[in-house]
Structure 1
Amino acid sequence: MATIRPFNAVRPREDVASKVAALPYDVYNREEALAEVLKEPLSFLKVDRAETQFDEDFNPYDAKVYAKARDSLQQMIKEGILVKEGKNCYYIYELTMDGRSQTGLVGCAAIDDYLNDVIKKHEKTREDKEIDRINHVDICDAQTGPIFLAYRSQKILNDVVDKVKKEAPLYDFVAPDGIRHTVWRINKESDIATIYLGFKNIQSIYIADGHHRAASAVKVGLKRREASPGYTGEEEFNFFLSVLFPHDQLKILDYNRVVKDLNGYSKEEFLSEITKKFVVEKIGAEPYKPAEKATYGMYLEGVWYKLTAKEEIRSNDPVEGLDVSLLQNHLLTSVLNIKDIRTDKRIEFVGGIRGLKELEKRAKSDMKLAFSMYPTSINELFDVSDAGRLMPPKSTWFEPKLRSGLFIHLL
């Protein structure tokens, strides 16, 4: 049973919310983050990426950077750019892209649910990325970026959301990238109680995106428990900021691949080799986007091909049967000798939001070969997580991205 509780949020004043809201810290490199902060001085990136306040050669992981993040956060509160709600609430957060909306509930998840596997994971985290966010959360004494969680849709929760959405929103703005962000506050005690009990009836919640932020929040909580042996479990550090979406609201985009060379094969040799595991059909110049599982688009030397995995390599295993696994095991590894996609410099990844023309562009410039993928489904993500397994890297691309700075959870 999941514990998702309301919280006393720090959030932007209504008239500046659109200026404060920022894409997640890890979407930008340093130069891009600096450009955003220079363009919009109220951007929450000055907290999430405080190295933008230092010279470009300054170490972004220096203790002074995290102290600057804390000071910037406190200054925004002091100046009234950020305000404290004054009572524990839930929020509804709706994102609309290209006419399609997804609506989630904002609350705080329990670190014990993470530790006890009520909150399920599907991705391996890297210690270096964890350490950065551990320092940021601990020194800021706040969680500034929400974790993207998913759960199997529940009517009792949907009914509350539908009712509150008929009220006037707290925020409603369109960001420069065209994504509309709309937020409602849930502050009636009866609605709060319904949501809390609704989540108590849910057996499993899933991390969709934000594994490193979740792991970091949990480790800060454990660190503070160790420093406070008399803790009760009700302290704010026992919970982490989350936005939770019902599964039927979510759409996972394709996460495509581009490869630098053919591992020494000629084009003809390569095409012959891959026919051992895939049916290969020549499509022509028109970009090919897969329409069903176990099919792939492949772009090579100006021509698109459709690849279909042969029955003998397909699998009912929740991990081995994923499209990304079939391509990895039976083409990228066995033919192209790309064994570890985390470290191999011959392969890169292109989010589906960038479109197939981006794959053509890359294959004509710095790469040789491109693959368009059929997206992993949310149910496949659930199946892998329920089995206690890990997804291969770069299996899912979620869009649109949650903004940071709209909700802050003080510890």
Structure 2
Amino acid sequence: MAEIQAFKAVRPERAKAGLVASRSYEDYSEGELTAQLEYNPYSFLHIINPGYKFQHRIKGEQRFQMVKNRYLEFREENIFIQDEKPCFYIYRIETRENSYCGIIAAASAEDYEKNVIKRHEDTIAHREILFKDYLKVVGFNTEPVLLTYKDNSVINNLMAEVQGDRPEYEFATYNKETHKLWKIENAKVIEQIKAEFGKMDCLYIADGHHRCASSYLLAEESKKNNPEHTGKEPYNFFMSYLISESNLKIYEFSRLITDLNGHSKEEFLILLDEWFRIENRGYDAYTPSKKHHFNMYLDGEFYSLYLRKTNYEFTDSLSKLDPYILYQKILKPVLGIEDLRNDKRISYVHGKNDLIEIKTRIDKGEFAVGFGMLPLGIEEIKQIAEENLTMPPKSTYIEPKLRSGLTIYEF
């Protein structure tokens, strides 16, 4: 059964929340990043980019320690405050297209070990260890792991009741999003929510596999180093954002390849013909409408590719996934791309960006061919997790993407 805990979040005082909150570091252009660091002294980016204070790029353990130093400065200056008693936090994001609402809580590292928290992606060992070492030095979580669960009417009703009150935070951002956060500090409501999650057989990782794995490694290491370990210490948990399945938005990733692996256009199409029924769509931007249908942009023209199901054998849930089919029948055997994470010949464009970007980048000569497909459904993702399988890298782009710095979990 899934275990979650309320916790005493460290967070910005109300007036500064919109100034503190930041997008993911990688999401900023160089110009945006410089402007934020230069003109916004409250931005959480000062904590995760601590070398800016000294105009120096810092790496490794020195950076970890300086992240902690900048964080402590925010605490000392009362930019960050800490709640006096454990709470859950409802975090709502309203974008131009969608609205997302979930609960920020502490999830159990032991549940990850016991497969109560189920995963669908492989993690890379050295990245797990690196982030575990980072967490050990800084002593806090700032980015919740995105966990999803089957829709629950009791939880929905409790959340709706809390949202009838004035939010603790309410601010808008430059990309026309509205962010709201409510504290749940009523002990009865907290216990009701905990009880509902306690009835659930499992939770599923939607986003944050490496963060989850690293938090588990830290819990195991801390347990070994603590002779008085009880299982209730803060290091036994990690910050999570719990959101119902129906409230997630799942996009696909398109694949862009720099060259045809030495094949001419004609040779390439003939090789694809073994596994796909190919139709040249010319200048009509074809978008797949069914599973196992793909779009392709090559040499100024769009193509539809339909899997020849009489040739292809479905053996398990993984074999049915379109990203896996594309990898097994085109990317690996024809284009020679085996390592989807590290091969420099492949790049990815998430499905929020339409075919125009793919066409533009290929027409510019940056890439030779691009492939698109339908996004995966939540049931496909869950089935992969249930069968202890792992999807190819960049199979899903999942929203919401949360702002950093609004709630921090110390351990």
Displacement, 1:287?
A: 2.4
**Counterparts in 2 of 1:53 and 1:285: CA distance versus 1, 3 Å:** farther
Partner amino acid, structure 2, of 1:222: E
Distance in 2 between residues matched to 1:29 and 1:122, nearest whole Å: 30
TM-score (norm 1): 0.94
Displacement, 1:55?
A: 4.1
Deviations 1:209-245 (A, max 9, x none): 1111111222222221111121111111110000011
> Do the aligned residues in 2 keep the contact of 1:69 with 1:136 (CA within 8 Å)?
no
Residue correspondence of structure 1 range 293-332 to structure 2 within 5 A: 293-311=291-309, 312-313=311-312, 315=314, 317-332=316-331
Distance in 1 between residues matched to 2:340 and 2:244, nearest whole Å: 31
> Do the aligned residues in 1 keep the contact of 2:249 with 2:400 (CA within 8 Å)?
no
Partner amino acid, structure 2, of 1:309: L
**Counterparts in 2 of 1:402 and 1:51: CA distance versus 1, 3 Å:** same
Within the alignment, does 1:380 sit opposite 2:380 as a pair? yes
**Counterparts in 2 of 1:254 and 1:194: CA distance versus 1, 3 Å:** same
Displacement, 1:316?
A: 5.6
Within the alignment, does 1:68 sit opposite 2:66 as a pair? yes
Distance in 2 between residues matched to 1:216 and 1:90, nearest whole Å: 23
Between 303-312 and 232-241, the greater mean CA deviation after superposition: 303-312
**Counterparts in 2 of 1:288 and 1:90: CA distance versus 1, 3 Å:** same
Distance in 2 between residues matched to 1:315 and 1:39, nearest whole Å: 55
Could you say which residue in structure 2 is the equivalent of 1:273? Answer: 271
| Corresponding residue pairs, total | 409
Residue correspondence of structure 1 range 10-21 to structure 2 within 5 A: 10-21=10-21
Could you say which residue in structure 1 is the equivalent of 2:283? Answer: 285
> Do the aligned residues in 1 keep the contact of 2:248 with 2:400 (CA within 8 Å)?
no
Distance in 2 between residues matched to 1:106 and 1:383, nearest whole Å: 25
Distance in 2 between residues matched to 1:178 and 1:279, nearest whole Å: 42
Displacement, 1:173?
A: 1.7
1:244 pairs, out of 242, 245, 249, with 242
Instruction: State the identity %.
Output: 34
> Do the aligned residues in 2 keep the contact of 1:3 with 1:109 (CA within 8 Å)?
yes
Distance in 1 between residues matched to 2:288 and 2:166, nearest whole Å: 41
**Counterparts in 2 of 1:161 and 1:369: CA distance versus 1, 3 Å:** same
> Do the aligned residues in 2 keep the contact of 1:283 with 1:303 (CA within 8 Å)?
yes
Could you say which residue in structure 2 is the equivalent of 1:121? Answer: 119
Between 32-41 and 261-270, the greater mean CA deviation after superposition: 32-41
> Do the aligned residues in 2 keep the contact of 1:95 with 1:181 (CA within 8 Å)?
yes
Residue correspondence of structure 1 range 3-402 to structure 2 within 5 A: 3-25=3-25, 27=27, 33-34=33-34, 36-56=36-56, 58-61=57-60, 63-311=61-309, 312-313=311-312, 315=314, 317-365=316-364, 366-402=366-402
Partner amino acid, structure 2, of 1:4: I
* Unaligned ranges ≥5, structure 2: none
Distance in 2 between residues matched to 1:230 and 1:368, nearest whole Å: 60
Residue aligned with 2:318, SS: coil
Displacement, 1:82?
A: 1.0
RMSD: 1.9
Displacement, 1:28?
A: 5.5
> Do the aligned residues in 2 keep the contact of 1:252 with 1:375 (CA within 8 Å)?
yes
Partner amino acid, structure 2, of 1:357: I
> Do the aligned residues in 1 keep the contact of 2:323 with 2:392 (CA within 8 Å)?
yes
Displacement, 1:25?
A: 4.2
Deviations 1:352-392 (A, max 9, x none): 22222111122123111111221111111111111111111
**Counterparts in 2 of 1:277 and 1:22: CA distance versus 1, 3 Å:** same
TM-score (norm 2): 0.94
Distance in 1 between residues matched to 2:234 and 2:183, nearest whole Å: 20
Displacement, 1:85?
A: 1.2
Distance in 2 between residues matched to 1:241 and 1:75, nearest whole Å: 22
